[in-house]
A and B are shown apart, each in its own frame.
Chain A
Amino acid sequence: MEDIRMRPISIAGKRQPVRLHGRVKSRVQRGLVYGAAALTFAVLLFLISYILVRGVPNLKPSLFSWTYSSENVSMVPAIITTVEMTLLALLLAVPFGLFTAIYLNEYAARGNKLVNIIRITTETLSGIPSIVYGLFGMLFFVTYLHWGYSMASGAMTLAIMILPLIMRTAEEALMSVPDSFREASFGLGAGRLRTVFRIVLPSAMPGILSGIILSIGRIVGETAALIFTAGTMAQIPSLLQSGRTLAIHMYVLSGEGLHMNEAYATAVVLLIVVLLMNALSALVAKRLTKK
């Protein structure tokens, strides 16, 4: 696209004098634009630095002891639960999301009715708020399937929640692979399946990965979908036991009001994970565009 950030041409302004209030208006508009942008980034900066400044001094070694007790609200069980939950949800969502994207982009005929329905359902899924996912998870996995408050219920709920994100990013990545790659592969006698797995997927990998990394960020930060599916027990859980992730740990701590310092510390850990995930995803995506 052309660079449209050029300065206005002043000759025209001189020949046909711009009315004074027009010039003032322009100046006000410019001020508003800069002011709003400054405010947006100032809020972000303030939020991050405030949490870091208040939280980092509270990151005491005792918070990383192996077990949780009411005297020492260690976050280690929560960290392990978060890792478990992330892996489980990804394990469920990535194959389905990726294969759906492959079906939509590599197999389905253009203008296929089913493709449209799938796109509409994906859009619907991505607009549903996490509390509705939480309710559904509670009704279906916890109650109807009798899984109780458990890692399995939580991970299934989260898997459905991140499915549209993984699907969309994977589809975009597949779409960005030039058709000439596929044609060359077919021309050399490879079948469709081999073309997909040997040629298309490797070139689309950075895009797919950056989508997966973004969903890790969402899983780690999720609360509303997990309270009534995975529960809030502070322990290192097995598949059918309840466990609290870091975000829920933080919610419980700040809700009690007794452990504000620990809540600050948890916020720091959450924030750092999210910062890392975002940076990583941007880095991976950058590799994609460079190529």
Chain B
Amino acid sequence: MHGVFFVCALVSILAVVLICVFLFANGVPAMQKIGLDNFLLGTTWKPGNDLYGILPMILGSVYITAGAIVVGVPIGLLTAIFMAFYCPKRIYGFLKPCTELLAGIPSIVYGFFGMVIIVPLIRDIAAFFGRDISGSSILAASILLGIMILPTIIGVSEAALRAVPGSYYEGSVAMGATHERAVFSVVLPAAKSGVLASIVLGIGRAIGETMAVIMVAGNQPRVTGDMLKGIRTMTANIVTEMGYAADLHREALIATGVVLFVFILIINLSFSVLKRRKD
């Protein structure tokens, strides 16, 4: 039986190898055909004209992820502080599963929620200020993804805050610090690497999110810095066009997946480096 267990243990290695091999083998040739420069730095995505520049999508992913971090990290971190230092024990037993539930809600439901609530809200507010937009925008996606990464930020940060020895807090309170001062100026800095790890993990979640983003981001492949305009992410590029793509177009979409995969690997790597440093 030892052998059986051993072979099973090899499956996860096999899976990673297979994923890498098949993604790269199918994506890299397209990059060569298009030219790495034209592919990564080209600003026009027009498969009809054989123009495959994914810079708009890379920027789209980066903008929306940054927006999600701006929305999600402050709220998530403060909620984590609440959970660790403010929450009465009686309601903690109820609120903790709630944050886990937030992680369990399917992204399609989040996307739907964004589509029927956040997008119309942005449209109405913009209309009030005299701008006629659809509402599907960088802003909508940022808010929605900010909500979606909350459980990641809360969970990992809370664990990091709780891992700080209680003596830190007690010491600073004994020196006359208020509860807030002790938490914000002593415990929080001590938990810094764990908090950073939670942010990195949140970035990974946000950049890889697909269905929710497709439903609220507008999906126009363009370079824009306007928060109220639509944009397309790498993930959205794959899903919206894969259904009918063929030949080089299809390969270019797979290559988009490869670029996304490389992003994720880098993010994973920095996460494990941060985690190692914490241990």
Per-residue B-contact encoding for A215-246, CB less than 8 Å = 1, 0 else: 00100111110011000000000000000000
User: Nearest residue in B to A160 (C-beta to C-beta)?
Assistant: B15
Residue B257, interface by CB 8 Å: yes
Contacting residue for B9 out of A35, A54, A99, A224, CB 8 A: A99
Which residues in B have their C-beta under 8 angstroms from that of A275?
Answer: 101
Nearest Cβ on chain B to A137's Cβ, whole angstroms: 10
Nearest Cβ on chain A to B35's Cβ, whole angstroms: 22
In the assembled complex, the Cα of A16 lies from the Cα of B179 at a distance in Å of 16
Residue A8, interface by CB 8 Å: yes
Residue B190, interface by CB 8 Å: no
Q: Is the CB of B181 within 8 A of A103?
A: no
Residue B220, interface by CB 8 Å: no
With A12-B176, A227-B239 known as contacts, the answer to whether A121 contacts B16 (CB < 8 A) is yes
In the assembled complex, the Cα of A6 lies from the Cα of B265 at a distance in Å of 42
Contacting residue for A135 out of B23, B182, B183, CB 8 A: B23
Most chain A beta-carbon neighbours within 10 Å: one of B79, B175, B207 = B79
One of A41-49, A57-65, A73-81 contacting the partner: A41-49
One of B36-44, B50-58, B82-90, B124-132 contacting the partner: B82-90
Residue B159, interface by CB 8 Å: no
Per-residue A-contact encoding for B204-246, CB less than 8 Å = 1, 0 else: 1101111100010000000000000000000100110011000
In the assembled complex, the Cα of A108 lies from the Cα of B178 at a distance in Å of 49
Which residues in A have their C-beta under 8 angstroms from that of B100?
Answer: 278, 282
Residue B29, interface by CB 8 Å: no
Contacting residue for B98 out of A18, A27, A41, CB 8 A: A41
Contacting residue for B79 out of A37, A106, A121, CB 8 A: A37
Residue A258, interface by CB 8 Å: no
Interface size on B, residues (CB 8 A): 92
Interface residues in chain A, defined as those with a beta carbon under 8 Å from any beta carbon in chain B? 1-2, 4-9, 12-13, 15-16, 18, 22-23, 25-27, 29-30, 32-37, 39-41, 43-44, 47, 50-51, 54, 95-96, 99-100, 102-104, 106-108, 114, 117-118, 120-125, 127-133, 135-136, 138-140, 144, 160, 163-164, 167, 193, 214, 217, 220-224, 227-228, 247, 250-251, 254, 260, 263, 267, 270-271, 274-275, 277-279, 282
Which residues in A have their C-beta under 8 angstroms from that of B134?
Answer: none
Identify which of residues 156-185 in chain B touch chain A, using a CB-to-CB cut-off of 8 Å.
Answer: 162, 166, 169-170, 173-184
Top 9 nearest A-B pairs (CB, nearest first) are A129-B208, A221-B106, A12-B176, A36-B78, A99-B8, A37-B82, A103-B5, A26-B180, A224-B210
Nearest Cβ on chain B to A93's Cβ, whole angstroms: 10
In the assembled complex, the Cα of A264 lies from the Cα of B6 at a distance in Å of 46
Q: Is the CB of A267 within 8 A of B109?
A: yes
Which residues in B have their C-beta under 8 angstroms from that of A228?
Answer: 242-243
In the assembled complex, the Cα of A1 lies from the Cα of B5 at a distance in Å of 37
Q: Is the CB of B85 within 8 A of A128?
A: no
Contacting residue for A131 out of B76, B81, B208, CB 8 A: B208
Which residues in B have their C-beta under 8 angstroms from that of A263?
Answer: 112
User: Nearest residue in A to B167 (C-beta to C-beta)?
Assistant: A2
Residue B75, interface by CB 8 Å: yes
Contacting residue for B107 out of A7, A43, A223, CB 8 A: A223
Contacting residue for A1 out of B16, B162, B235, CB 8 A: B162
Q: Is the CB of A270 within 8 A of B106?
A: yes
Q: Is the CB of A107 within 8 A of B22?
A: no
User: Nearest residue in A to B86 (C-beta to C-beta)?
Assistant: A33
With A33-B86, A100-B11, A124-B16 known as contacts, the answer to whether A223 contacts B108 (CB < 8 A) is yes
Contacting residue for A136 out of B12, B18, B77, CB 8 A: B18
Which residues in A have their C-beta under 8 angstroms from that of B95?
Answer: 41
Contacting residue for A99 out of B5, B26, B105, CB 8 A: B5
With A1-B166, A129-B260 known as contacts, the answer to whether A37 contacts B11 (CB < 8 A) is no
Q: Is the CB of B83 within 8 A of A37?
A: yes
Which residues in A have their C-beta under 8 angstroms from that of B182?
Answer: 8
With A99-B9, A270-B109 known as contacts, the answer to whether A251 contacts B211 (CB < 8 A) is yes
Residue B64, interface by CB 8 Å: no
Q: Is the CB of A125 within 8 A of B15?
A: yes
With A39-B75, A124-B265 known as contacts, the answer to whether A5 contacts B180 (CB < 8 A) is no
Residue B121, interface by CB 8 Å: no
Nearest Cβ on chain B to A206's Cβ, whole angstroms: 16
Q: Is the CB of B109 within 8 A of A221?
A: yes
With A47-B105, A124-B268, A128-B19 known as contacts, the answer to whether A36 contacts B13 (CB < 8 A) is no
Nearest Cβ on chain B to A270's Cβ, whole angstroms: 6
Q: Is the CB of A13 within 8 A of B173?
A: no
Q: Is the CB of B12 within 8 A of A125?
A: yes
Most chain A beta-carbon neighbours within 10 Å: one of B2, B150, B178, B242 = B178
Nearest Cβ on chain B to A285's Cβ, whole angstroms: 10
